[in-house]
Amino acid sequence: MHLDDLAELAARHRAEETHEQEIRVCVAASCQSSGSLPVLEALKEACATQGNGRCKVKGVGCMGLCSAGPLVAVAERDAELNSSLLYRNVTPVDAPEILASLQGPPVERLRCPTDQPFFQQQVRIVLERSGLIDPESLPEAIVHGGYSALIQTITEMTPAEVIREVTASGLRGRGGAGYPTGLKWSTVAKMPSAQKYVICNADEGDPGAFMDRAVLESDPHRVLEGMAIAAYAIGASKGYIYVRAEYPLAVARLETAIRAARRAGFLGARVADTPFAFDIDLRLGAGAFVCGEETALMASIEGLRGQPRPRPPYPAESGLWGCPTLINNVETFANIAPIIRKGGAWFAQIGTEGSKGTKVFALAGRIKNTGLIEVPMGITLRAIIEEISGGIPDGKRFKAVQTGGPSGGCIPEQYLDTPVDYDSLKTLGTIMGSGGMIVIDETASMVDVARFFMEFCMSESCGKCIPCRTGTWQMHALLEKIARGAGTDEDLALLEELCEVVRAMSLCGLGQTAPNPVLSTLRYFRHEYEAKLRA
């Protein structure tokens, strides 16, 4: 199969459908929880009776503004989200009215303006097809450019050229640590081994993060495509997606997508009729935060307890079953197809010097607009919190924003003008992480927040190494004591000392970063700890 054949396929799919207008209903997890499936059914029914045959009702992926769900967009065929008419908090009862409005004025009482900063400040690369296509339809993905980058790589490019393009893009791993993707790929590509693996880390364990979930539920094919391109570049024939069992909808949509991609020949023994062979299997996680750590994740795929092992050797050298293995996060793979289609140089123009491209963030906590956004790297925290997320509701004051999950830290108000990129966040004592952002207002006690994260790390510690296993337990006990108002100066000093020990001595990322929430709250909110100490 060549690019021409794919274009022909897309044209054929397009010709089969004659509708001019689309009514798109979000069927990602968040809107489903707000009741979008009955809305979809009601709209389909209304369309069958009231429609004139030029309109199609379909389920699509996440449109971002989860707090206003269920979201319904009325748009010209192929029109982007920003140029469509968006309705919020739609109920099944509203269906006839929405259908009737297709020829007339919009239903004002349901309008959700798309000219607000939430929509206008976004740059959608990873989410380019999210909210636009039916996630369960391979033809829709193909019509909107799906698999063209894969065909292009395997028919026109050498593996070295693919890696050169990814390196030129400056893409860094979106799972949290920000390791340069091109460098990782070239390291695995250099390994002289007949058997190599590609793993997609979809074990989104950070509480407060749901970017990967949304990508998998909204556009699973772009993850499969990214993995196949990676496999071609490094010389792998087998891939695994390690996905959380807590995300049943993402699992179901991935299964559908993998089956469809196999049938269409985008996965399997001869990908797109070329000698390149690559297939993907799903592996379900079973609820263990530590399995997001790459060596623990591989142990879990092998059917063992998800406990990490010391590195080196790194997975690039000796990974799954001792073979060279490339592990990237969902969002990293989701960036690959656009980079191949438009070139690494195009991607490198977006973002900042050290952090290229865009980043998907999950906004949650005490803000008006919660949901999913994709913004260029380098945007300020203030723009995200005050403009995009609409600020703090109920007249409360902003206190801190927590980034990077339990491995991250809290940023206070005086640093809100910091640009969001890997290095700036690091200097503030936190991390980008996978992209969860939780806004905390003045009503929260930072000691309680620190205790919450320590409780999390304590119970998620796999128990293999002592600094993490007992260190987090002791730190939690101290925080408990301080939060209760029974702590002393010595307790606080001991807590700080323990932070250092656990950080320096733990085996894997979980333990090494477990003290971060304590260290960062101590750094910016020390007075809250001191106020709680017994005089």
Partner 1 sequence: MTLPPIRPPLPNDDPRWKLVNATMRRNGYAGHALIETLHSVQDAFGYLDETALRFVAASLDMPLSKVYGVATFYHIFTLKPPGRHTCVVCTGTACYIKGATGLLEGILAHFALRPGETNEDGALSLLTARCVGACGLAPAVVLDGEVLGKQTPENLLAKLEGLVHAS
What does the binding site for partner 1 look like in residue numbers (CB under 8 A)?
29-30, 32-34, 66-67, 69, 204-210, 213, 245-248, 283-289, 300-306, 362-366, 370-372, 402, 405, 436, 438, 440, 444, 452-453, 456, 460, 462
* Min separation Cβ 88 and partner 1, Å: 13
Mapped onto helix, strand or coil, the DSSP state of residue 434 is coil
* Cβ-count burial 62-88 (b if 16+ within 10 Å, e if not): bbbbbbbbbbbbbbeeebebeebbbbb
Q: Tokens for 25, please give them.
A: 């209903």
CB contact set of 250 (below 8 Å; sequence gap of 6+): 29, 202, 213, 216, 217, 220, 243, 244
CA Rg, the chain, in Å? 24
Which has the closest alpha carbon to 173: 139, 199, 208, 140?
Answer: 199
Rounded Cα gap, residues 437 and 440, in angstroms: 10
Nearer to partner 1, 66 or 138 (CB): 66
> Nearer to partner 1 by C-beta: 119 or 247?
247
The secondary element (H helix, E strand) that includes residue 220 is helix 220-234
Nearer to partner 1, 146 or 436 (CB): 436
Whether the CA torsion 400, 402, 403, 407 is positive or negative: it is positive
Distance in angstroms (rounded) separating the CA atoms of residues 375 and 122: 5
- Using the minimum distance from each CB to partner 1, give the nearer residue, 68 or 75: 68
Residue 212 CB, nearest approach to partner 1 (Å):
8
Compute the least distance from the CB of residue 167 to partner 1, in Å: 32
Cα separation of 219 and 403, whole Å?
A: 25
C-alpha span between 465 and 469 (Å, rounded): 6
291 touches 242 (CB < 8 A): yes
Taking each helix axis from N to C end, the angle separating 516-532 and 446-460, rounded to the nearest 10 degrees, works out to 140
Q: Which is nearer to partner 1, 88 or 342 (CB)?
A: 88
CB of 70 to partner 1, least distance (A): 11
**Cα distance between residue 60 and residue 127, in whole Å:** 12
Nearer to partner 1, 129 or 399 (CB): 399
- In our burial notation (b when 16+ CB lie closer than 10 A, e otherwise), range 465-477 reads bebbbebbebbbe
Of 21 and 434, the one with the shorter C-beta distance to partner 1 is 434
Q: Which is nearer to partner 1, 76 or 281 (CB)?
A: 281
Shortest Å distance, C-beta 45 to partner 1: 22
Q: Give all strands (DSSP E) within 269-408, no chain letters.
A: 279-284, 325-329, 358-365, 371-376, 398-403
Q: Which two tokens stand for residue 447?
A: 């000691």
CB of 458 to partner 1, least distance (A): 13
Q: Report in angstroms how near the CB of residue 206 gets to partner 1 at its nearest.
A: 7
Smallest separation, CB 532 to partner 1 (Å): 18
Q: Find the shortest distance in angstroms from Cβ 235 to partner 1.
A: 22
**Mapped to the 3 state alphabet, what secondary structure does 42-71 carry?**
HHHHHHHHHCCCCEEEEEECCCCCHHHCCC
Residue type at position 145: G
Nearer to partner 1, 420 or 440 (CB): 440
* Cα–Cα distance, 75 to 132 (Å, whole number): 10
- Cβ at position 46, least distance to partner 1 in Å: 25
Distance CA 271, CA 252 (A): 23
Closer of 280 and 438 to partner 1 (Cβ)? 438
Closest CB 236 distance from partner 1, rounded Å: 18
Nearer to partner 1 (CB atom), residue 248 or residue 485: 248
Q: How far is the CB of 208 from partner 1 (least distance, A)?
A: 4
Contact predicate 206/247, CB 8 Å: no
Dihedral pair phi/psi, residue 376, rounded to 5°? -65, 145
Q: Smaller CB distance to partner 1: residue 64 or 351?
A: 64
